[in-house]
Amino acid sequence: MNRLVKTAAVLLGSILLAAHAAANDGWNQWRGPQRDGRSPGEAWPSSFDSMKTSWRVPLGKGYPGPVVAEKTVFVVETVDTKTVAVRALDRASGEERWRQSWPGKGKVPFFAASNGDWVRSTPGYDGERLYVGDMQEVLRALDAATGEVLWEVDFPATFETGVPDFGFASSPMVDGNALFVQAANSLVKLDTETGETVWRALQGSGNIAASGAFSSPVIATVAGERQLIVLSRHTLYGVNPETGAELWSHDVPNFRGMNILTPVVYGDSIFTSPYKGRSYLYSLQKKDGTFEISESWTNKATAYMSSPVVIGDHLYMHLGNGRIDCIDLRTGESRWRSNAFGKYQSMVFRDDKILALDETGWLYLFRASPVGFELLDSRQVSEQPSWGHLAVSGDQLFVRELEGVIALDWRE
């Protein structure tokens, strides 16, 4: 009997591990499974020679990156000036499985109008539900199998904060049965089953230089404690994910609150680079139960909106001037800078290779090496603006054009 129980337990464990591996083999949220641009899997080829377009589906305008499950690709679109929609597409063929829509509009300030009023936030996916935010800062949980709306949270109405001037730009993060959202000029933890607020923290003012969030949260163990790393329009925070208690904070120099990058964790340090600012590495220590944060180094490298990737002891970042910079995280020294490659790049890496999609639809493959910039290949995969983050799962790439989504197969 004991042997049967033991065998059953081992079998159940194997099934659960397989299910967990399958769930994490996709691209389930902003910047991937770990929110750091890392794509697990077999080594990539060294060229695009074998890359082919599998399918393309026209969409309404939008910036959210695709979310990729085992057999489904989820995309969000602004259908017209008053409607937001979500589609579930068959991963193999692009065939539509379901579509859900609701009234939703947005209006950014006139000086940002060139970037459009359409939806921006990349959804989160936990294997059962898809969490979608629109420009009105309303978040909905959809049944991933059917598209049925399970619950919704209207943050401006719930917390009486008003709609952010630039819409809902931050992307929600799933962690177990919790959903973390930078909304209502704060950080909010929701129950994924019900949408109920568990806690609200980091409440800020609602003026135009502080309204909403451009960055998105991450979760990591830093200085021995698992914590949320959150960048508001002005300040970098560490937050206890269970209680919402602020563990530490540090003001980051910024231009009109334009802290856009997703924070990047390196050991017990955190990297960021504000728009029109410099690059900073902040180190965290815990002494006698209290966290202390200090600036390790600063570098003149200036990012724009492209969140960097860390491979080994080096960081690779697309700068505001279009160049790619390789920074030694141990010293803050720039090892090299490339020629210019457009205004924006979404980066994904696997082993020692980096894929970078720029805003003009060009895809680049280059070597992650501190020795020098080595471009392995490049190809134009879209003729439309492509500001949505590149999604990679297995040997497939998914490109969100301004008015469409493209699936590419990359097999040797």
Give residue 43's pLDDT: 96
Report the candidate in 109, 55, 120 with the shortest Cα–Cα distance to residue 84. 120
Q: Comparing 27-41, 47-61, 93-107, 132-146, which segment has the lowest mean pLDDT?
A: 93-107
Instruction: Compute the average pLDDT of residues 116-132.
Output: 95
At 11, the pLDDT band (50, 70, 90 cuts) reads very low
Q: How confident is the model at residue 18 (pLDDT cuts 50, 70, 90)?
A: very low
Cα–Cα distance, 403 to 391 (Å, whole number): 16
What span, in angstroms and rounded, lies between the C-alpha atoms of 251 and 344?
Answer: 25
194 to each of 11, 140, 219, 397, how far by Cα in Å? 32, 11, 22, 33
Question: Top-level CATH class of 63-214?
Answer: mainly beta
Q: Which residues pair with 326 in a beta bridge?
A: 316, 336
- Give the Cα separation of 69 and 387 in Å (integer): 21
| pLDDT, average across residues 56-63 | 97
Task: Tell me the two tokens of residue 32.
Answer: 């991937």
Q: How many CB atoms lie within 10 A of CB 17?
A: 10
* Phi (first) and psi of residue 184, to 5 degrees: 55, 40
Q: pLDDT digits over 204-225, tens only?
A: 876 666 778 999 999 999 999 9
**Position 2 pLDDT exceeds 70:** no
Predicted confidence at residue 13, as pLDDT, reads 36
Q: Where are the domains of the chain?
A: 41-55+316-343+345-386+388-412, 63-214, 217-304
Cross-strand partners of 5: none
Q: Please report, to the nearest 10 degrees, the dihedral formed by the alpha carbons of residues 190, 193, 195, 196 taken in order.
A: -70
- The hierarchical CATH code for the domain 217-304 is 2.40.10.480
Region 67-72 average pLDDT: 98
Q: Is the pLDDT of residue 228 over 80?
A: yes
pLDDT at 8 over 50: no
Contacts of 166 (CB under 8 A, 6+ apart): 108, 109, 112, 211, 212, 214
Q: What is the Cα Rg of the chain in Å?
A: 21
Identify the architecture of domain 41-55+316-343+345-386+388-412 in CATH: Beta Barrel (2.40)
Q: Dihedral of the CA atoms 48, 53, 59, 64 (nearest 10)?
A: -30
The yes-or-no answer to whether 63-214 and 217-304 have a common fold is no
Across all residues in the chain, what is the average pLDDT?
92
For residue 279, the tally of other CB atoms under 10 A from its CB is 24
Phi/psi at 194 (5° precision): -115, -20
Summarised one tens digit per residue, pLDDT across range 173-200 is 999 999 999 999 999 999 999 999 999 9
Residue count (the chain): 412
